[in-house]
């Protein structure tokens, strides 16, 4: 960073060069695979960063809420899928969006499909949410009868169109290896194709397949078995992705600058201003199963250096972060210095802090800060 003394409180520092490189790499892969690139903007939540995607030819996006859809629609995005089950209590917001943009809504029940059919006032695409193994939400892929029932309910409505089937292979995070992650993708694509074939056999045409998660979309070279992908975290990556072997450390594009407020050399610890409300409570496990809430790096003129061996966030409270450091680093550390924390889950950290500071000191706001 140009001047670490400008850091006064926990600050989300963004390496723009790395983020842009991550975007270009994924965009190039989708072009080579011949699939639609619909990045999930829940990770960065920033209109300005969204423009970096537009520069790479992206014109369709996914979001995680109707409010997020409205924010990006206000910044010129016209093709937005809300990749979260439609919340019928926000029917007014859905009507507002459908009147002004091409909006995709997510359903997994005849109840929701019927409600949309009766209350939507403008045309909208409907994606049927399929559970391909994560068991979070969606119709289990084997339940073809339920998928067909939802599709038929959507088809009854004049203003609704069955766009396709949508899944997120969240269980890829538990695959255990890079090859295991690739196998989850192959399994996901095959299961989605089975469901699509069932709908085609019942007279539904042009059923598209949309999948999305950063691990599979990063590690699979040819994504041509589906029609579109919706990864999000790849724009920044994080320790969770690094821990799974999905990315390299030098691809992680964000870190939290945390002021040192105390030292406890007898405990081999420093205390930073940077707690759960800044970093989130997500963790990865060390070799002994103990939680790690972030890795520690030292600030440099061009951002931050590699993670310090033996340096990590061992515990969090609301505002405090407890940092374990090797003795030789701890001895030279002073109250008022700044440590850089590589986040475990960049999506949550970005949402919590709401504003980025680039390495040049530029402030980039997100929808959280507007």
Domain span at residue 181? 78-231
Model's pTM, two decimal places? 0.95
Alpha helices in the chain (DSSP H): 16-33, 47-54, 66-73, 91-100, 110-119, 144-156, 178-201, 214-219, 239-243, 276-279, 327-332, 346-353
Cβ atoms 279, 317 nearer than 8 A: no
The reply to whether 198 and 269 lie within a common domain is no
The phi and psi torsions of 355 (rounded to 5 degrees) equal -140, 140
The reply to whether 219 and 317 lie within a common domain is no
CATH number at residue 255: 2.40.37.20
Pairing of strands 228-229, 36-37: parallel
Residue 309: left (phi > 0), alpha (psi -120 to 50), or beta?
A: beta
The reply to whether 188 and 290 lie within a common domain is no
The reply to whether 144 and 192 lie within a common domain is yes
Q: In 3D, which of 330, 312, 367 has the Cα closest to residue 74?
A: 367
Helices (H) and strands (E) in the chain, counts: 12, 22
CATH number at residue 172: 3.20.20.10
What is the C-alpha separation between 174 and 135, in angstroms, rounded? 13
Pairing of strands 295-297, 338-342: antiparallel
Q: In 3D, which of 107, 130, 129 has the Cα closest to residue 120?
A: 107
The reply to whether 83 and 214 lie within a common domain is yes
Please check whether residue 210 lies inside any domain of the structure.
yes
Please check whether residue 198 lies inside any domain of the structure.
yes
E strands, 190-335, are 208-211, 228-229, 254-264, 269-273, 284-285, 291-292, 295-297, 299-300, 303-304, 312-316, 320-324
SS3 of the chain: helix, strand, coil, percent, to 5:
40, 25, 35
The reply to whether 262 and 220 lie within a common domain is no
The reply to whether 296 and 324 lie within a common domain is yes
* pLDDT tens digits in sequence order for the chain, 370 residues long: 555 548 999 999 999 999 999 999 999 999 999 999 999 999 999 999 999 999 999 999 999 999 999 999 999 999 999 999 999 999 999 999 999 999 999 999 999 999 999 999 999 999 999 999 888 899 999 999 999 999 999 999 999 999 999 999 888 888 889 999 999 999 999 999 999 999 999 999 899 999 989 999 999 999 999 999 999 999 999 999 999 999 999 999 999 999 999 999 999 999 999 999 999 999 999 988 999 999 999 999 889 999 999 999 999 999 999 999 999 999 999 999 999 999 999 999 999 999 999 999 999 999 987 5
CA distances to 187, 356, 363 from 301, rounded to whole Å, are 45, 17, 18
Residues 6+ apart with CB under 8 A from 81: 38, 60, 61, 62, 63, 103, 104, 106, 125, 127, 166, 210, 230
The reply to whether 88 and 208 lie within a common domain is yes
Please check whether residue 211 lies inside any domain of the structure.
yes
């Amino acid at each position: 960073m140009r001047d670490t003394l400008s850091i006064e409180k926990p600050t989300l520092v963004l390496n723009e060069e790395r983020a842009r490189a991550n975007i270009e790499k994924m965009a190039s892969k989708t072009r080579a695979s011949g699939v639609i690139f619909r990045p999930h903007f829940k990770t960065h939540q920033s209109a300005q960063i969204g423009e970096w995607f537009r520069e790479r030819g992206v014109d369709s996006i996914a979001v995680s809420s109707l409010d997020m859809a409205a924010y990006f629609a206000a910044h010129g995005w016209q093709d937005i899928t809300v990749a979260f089950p439609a919340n019928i209590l926000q029917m007014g917001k859905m009507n507002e969006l459908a009147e002004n943009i091409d909006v995709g809504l997510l359903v997994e029940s005849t109840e929701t499909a019927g409600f949309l059919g009766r209350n939507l006032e403008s045309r909208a695409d409907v994606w049927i949410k399929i559970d391909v193994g994560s068991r979070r939400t969606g119709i289990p892929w084997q339940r073809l009868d339920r998928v067909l029932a939802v599709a038929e309910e959507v088809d009854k409505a004049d203003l609704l169109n069955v766009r396709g089937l949508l899944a997120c292979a969240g269980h890829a995070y538990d695959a255990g290896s890079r090859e295991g992650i690739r196998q989850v993708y192959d399994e996901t694509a095959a299961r989605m194709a089975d469901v699509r074939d069932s709908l085609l056999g019942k007279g539904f045409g042009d059923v598209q397949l949309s999948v999305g998660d950063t691990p599979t979309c990063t590690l699979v070279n040819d994504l041509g078995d589906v029609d579109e992908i919706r990864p999000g975290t790849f724009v920044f990556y994080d320790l969770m992705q690094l821990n799974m072997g999905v990315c390299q450390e030098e691809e992680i594009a964000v870190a939290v600058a945390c002021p040192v407020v105390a030292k406890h050399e007898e405990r081999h610890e420093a205390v930073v201003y940077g707690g759960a409300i800044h970093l989130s409570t997500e963790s990865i496990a060390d070799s002994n199963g103990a939680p790690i809430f972030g890795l520690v790096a030292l600030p440099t003129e061009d951002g931050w250096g590699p993670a310090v061996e033996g340096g990590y966030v061992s515990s969090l409270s609301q505002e405090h972060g407890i940092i374990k450091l090797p003795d030789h680093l701890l001895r030279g550390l002073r109250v008022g210095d700044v440590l850089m924390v590589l986040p475990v889950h960049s999506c949550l950290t970005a949402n919590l802090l709401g504003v980025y500071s680039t390495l040049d000191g530029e402030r980039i706001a997100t929808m959280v800060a507007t």
